[in-house]
Structure 1
Amino acid sequence: MDFDFSDDQEQLRDAVRRWVDKGYSFDRRRAAVAAGGFDRAAYNELAELGLTALMVPEAHDGLGQGAVSAMVAMEELGRGIVLEPLAHTFIASAVLSTHAPASVQAAWLPRIASGEVLVVLAHQERSARYHLDRCQATAIANGGSHTVSGLKSVVPAGDQADAFLVPARLGGATALFLVERTAAGVQTRGYVTQDGSRAAEVRFDNAPATLVTTEGQSALELAVDTGIAATCAEAVGVMDQTLAITVDYMNQRKQFGVAIANFQALRHRVADMKMQLELARSMSYYASLKLGAEPEERRAALARAKVQLGQSMRYVGQQAVQLHGGIGVTDEYIVSHYFKKLTQMEMVFGDTLHHLGEVSARMQDTAGVFA
């Protein structure tokens, strides 16, 4: 199997890396956090780079590049711990292009590709605990139209997004709807999350909604799996930069007159960080490559990937802070923000324990050493 990236993918990586290095400094990120955790200007710049069009089909003014190119972009954005939720643009692109009727695709996909609108997934509910088959939001059909009622929690940029993908119960089964933020009956309460990004509680009270698909469970699983793959790729970028910052600090920090990078015990810990990073990278590749598999195979693969990424994120983040010492947890020093990002990402789209349960539940009777 060929794991080399194409020339177009390498050019994409270089373009995104240059933007992160030159256009998204730590000071700009801090200013965005102080302003509320979301910068529409930064999101527009991502659109100008073509990132919002990556997973939109060419028939709808997109680039149709697929999951691997999205993975490349997310890795580079992770290096800069970029706040804007590009992963949700990939989710919306994948779900609408796969499940939405032609009229909905024509109305929304070109605008998603251009960056004109930001559509995010609003699926989490307080009692669901990561389980996708638990949904209390309800929908009512009235002739050819629908309304949605319910409360969705921790919706990324929920009070800034232009529309939401909302799962709700319709006639005893889960359907997926698209609801505009400015629609009647939509209320949002925004806040800054632990890693500095923005989220919101979104309440729908008989809000007018566009039906995307009655196969809501299937569409929701695709949405979450796409989000997991994007999160895994972003986490690899975050960990890669976290390790680089830590190594640079160890080469500068001196104790007993020598750089602490010379101490064998600390070098071993850095080697373990590198090992966890590479394990995570391989599973991120695995996750993106499996997005095109059959649903049951895809779901199992993405759960495995999230388990490894969760373990790696926790280890790399904690070791980075410990190797830095006290400065590693100060708000003024950048590595503390990488640590907070890794800590929060471990819980996105299901934490490690949840996905460990998912992996266990999907093991076949023949699984194990003695199969």
Structure 2
Amino acid sequence: MDFSLGEELEAVRDLAREILTDRATPERLREVENSPTRVDERLWADLAAAGLLAAVLPEEDGGAGLGMAGLCVLLQEQGRQVAPVPLWPALTGALTVAAYGTRTQRSGLLPGLVDGSARPTVALEEFGPADPLKPRTAAVRDGTGWRLSGVKAVVPAPAGARQVLVTAATGDGPGVFLVRPDAPGVSREYAETTSHDMSAHLTLDGAPAEAVGPPGCGAVEHLVRNASLALAAVQAGVADGALAHAAAHLRGREQFGRPLATFQAVQHQLADCYIDIEAMRVTLWHAVDALAPPFDARAADRAALVAKWWATEGGLNTVHRVQHVHGGIGVDTDYPVHRHFLWGKQISTTLGGAGADLERLGALVTGGAVTE
């Protein structure tokens, strides 16, 4: 199977790499980490101005139609630079609205994302051992709308989000709902994550909401699947960036009159990193390819879980090894490679860790129901 990028995806990769490398400097990262929102709004505006946010959206919504393939290319470049912009929650949410939303929902949300003036975020996780496909937050009908009650944990990048895509349970199956963060019945508690991002625990008490497609239509599966792939793509970039730091460090340091890179034990560590990263790339692009027609929901979910497991397990192993080969410098919280370690750790627990991924994959392989 050929996973080489086509001309359009190569253009996205090259432009994203140029912008992110230029803007996401260690000095700028330090500045953003000390800001109230932890989001680099200048970089977000630059990505929008370059057309990179619009690239993933359908052409009828003002985009270039590159979909998840374009998003994964963009996210890998973000991960390499650990750039603090909320790409994965905003764009996976937008793709679900583009796929299942009404014309009014699409026209109200997507143009703002194209020009960078507005963005959504997603609320997929809850406290306790919870499958993101089986939310405990409840949605009940209220006339032509809905009312949501429950608690959503670690909602990413709440600052600047105009809408939150919330997953909730109904009598007709799980659904995705649009909730305004300033709506009655919505409260939030801010919480800093391992990666220094700012998240929010969202409490919903009869909050008004709009359904994105009818409950049980497959919107939840679509959103969770795309979020899993997006996280895998970011993690692949994080691991690759960490390995690049390790290679540069080991080439420039000597012990006993020899470069550290020539020691066999160190070479074995980096070889293991390389193997894990290649496995992450292969499983990621296999999962992206599974989204193409003819679409099979079970095969796509299975591929997405395999990619997420490799990103969780292989990504975490890579950032651990890279930090180890840096020695004492690696634990300096201001040293660049430490940010890759923190991002790798955070991503490895988002939407469940490796054990949860294997449990969901096992259920799917042995006949668990998939609706789309």
CA contact (8 A) 2:174 2:220 kept: no
Secondary structure in 1 matching 2:365: coil
Is the aligned partner of 1:45 residue 2:51? no
Secondary structure in 1 matching 2:56: coil
Matches within 5 A, 1:263-274: 263-274=263-274
Unaligned runs of 5+ in 1: 366-371
The residue aligned with 2:281 is: 281
CA contact (8 A) 1:314 1:346 kept: yes
Matches within 5 A, 1:265-344: 265-292=265-292, 293-344=295-346
CA distance in 2, matches of 1:172, 1:42: 41
The residue aligned with 1:136 is: 136
The residue aligned with 1:238 is: 238
CA contact (8 A) 1:328 1:336 kept: yes
The residue aligned with 1:71 is: 72
Give the superposition deviation at 1:159. 4.2
The residue aligned with 1:369 is: none
CA distance in 2, matches of 1:102, 1:308: 37
CA distance in 2, matches of 1:130, 1:48: 38
Per-residue CA distance 1:221-247 (angstroms, 9 max, x = gap): 211111111111111111111111101
Q: Which moved more, 1:114-123 or 1:165-174?
A: 165-174
For the structure 1 residues 133 and 13, does the alpha-carbon distance in structure 2 shift closer, same or farther, using more than 3 Å as the test? closer
Specify the code of the residue in structure 2 equivalent to 1:362: L
CA distance in 2, matches of 1:121, 1:61: 22
CA distance in 1, matches of 2:137, 2:360: 24
Give the superposition deviation at 1:8. 1.9
The residue aligned with 1:114 is: 115
Give the superposition deviation at 1:330. 1.0
Specify the code of the residue in structure 1 equivalent to 2:53: T
Matches within 5 A, 1:76-87: 76-87=77-88
Secondary structure in 2 matching 1:124: coil
Q: Which moved more, 1:303-312 or 1:1-10?
A: 1-10
CA distance in 1, matches of 2:210, 2:91: 20
Secondary structure in 2 matching 1:261: helix
CA contact (8 A) 1:75 1:235 kept: yes
CA contact (8 A) 1:137 1:150 kept: yes
CA distance in 1, matches of 2:133, 2:20: 38
Secondary structure in 2 matching 1:11: helix
Matches within 5 A, 1:8-19: 8-19=8-19
CA contact (8 A) 1:155 1:200 kept: yes
CA distance in 1, matches of 2:5, 2:249: 31
CA distance in 2, matches of 1:175, 1:3: 33
Matches within 5 A, 1:221-260: 221-260=221-260
Give the superposition deviation at 1:172. 5.7
The residue aligned with 1:368 is: none
Secondary structure in 2 matching 1:146: strand
For the structure 1 residues 133 and 69, does the alpha-carbon distance in structure 2 shift closer, same or farther, using more than 3 Å as the test? closer
CA contact (8 A) 1:74 1:234 kept: yes
TM-score, L = length of structure 1 = 0.92
Give the superposition deviation at 1:133. 4.3
Per-residue CA distance 1:119-142 (angstroms, 9 max, x = gap): 111121113x24134333223323
The residue aligned with 2:210 is: 210
For the structure 1 residues 347 and 213, does the alpha-carbon distance in structure 2 shift closer, same or farther, using more than 3 Å as the test? same
Matches within 5 A, 1:134-173: 134-171=134-171, 173=173
CA contact (8 A) 1:148 1:208 kept: yes
Secondary structure in 2 matching 1:162: strand
Give the superposition deviation at 1:56. 1.7
Give the superposition deviation at 1:78. 0.8
CA distance in 2, matches of 1:173, 1:311: 31
For the structure 1 residues 269 and 359, does the alpha-carbon distance in structure 2 shift closer, same or farther, using more than 3 Å as the test? same
For the structure 1 residues 166 and 364, does the alpha-carbon distance in structure 2 shift closer, same or farther, using more than 3 Å as the test? closer
For the structure 1 residues 298 and 19, does the alpha-carbon distance in structure 2 shift closer, same or farther, using more than 3 Å as the test? same
Give the superposition deviation at 1:53. 1.4
CA contact (8 A) 2:154 2:191 kept: no
Calculate percent identity across the aligned residue pairs.
Answer: 27
Unaligned runs of 5+ in 2: 368-372
CA distance in 1, matches of 2:76, 2:245: 16
Specify the code of the residue in structure 2 equivalent to 1:235: Q
For the structure 1 residues 356 and 67, does the alpha-carbon distance in structure 2 shift closer, same or farther, using more than 3 Å as the test? same
CA contact (8 A) 1:133 1:217 kept: no
CA contact (8 A) 1:149 1:204 kept: yes
CA distance in 1, matches of 2:2, 2:265: 37
Specify the code of the residue in structure 2 equivalent to 1:329: V
For the structure 1 residues 147 and 244, does the alpha-carbon distance in structure 2 shift closer, same or farther, using more than 3 Å as the test? same
For the structure 1 residues 192 and 216, does the alpha-carbon distance in structure 2 shift closer, same or farther, using more than 3 Å as the test? farther
Give the superposition deviation at 1:24. 1.4
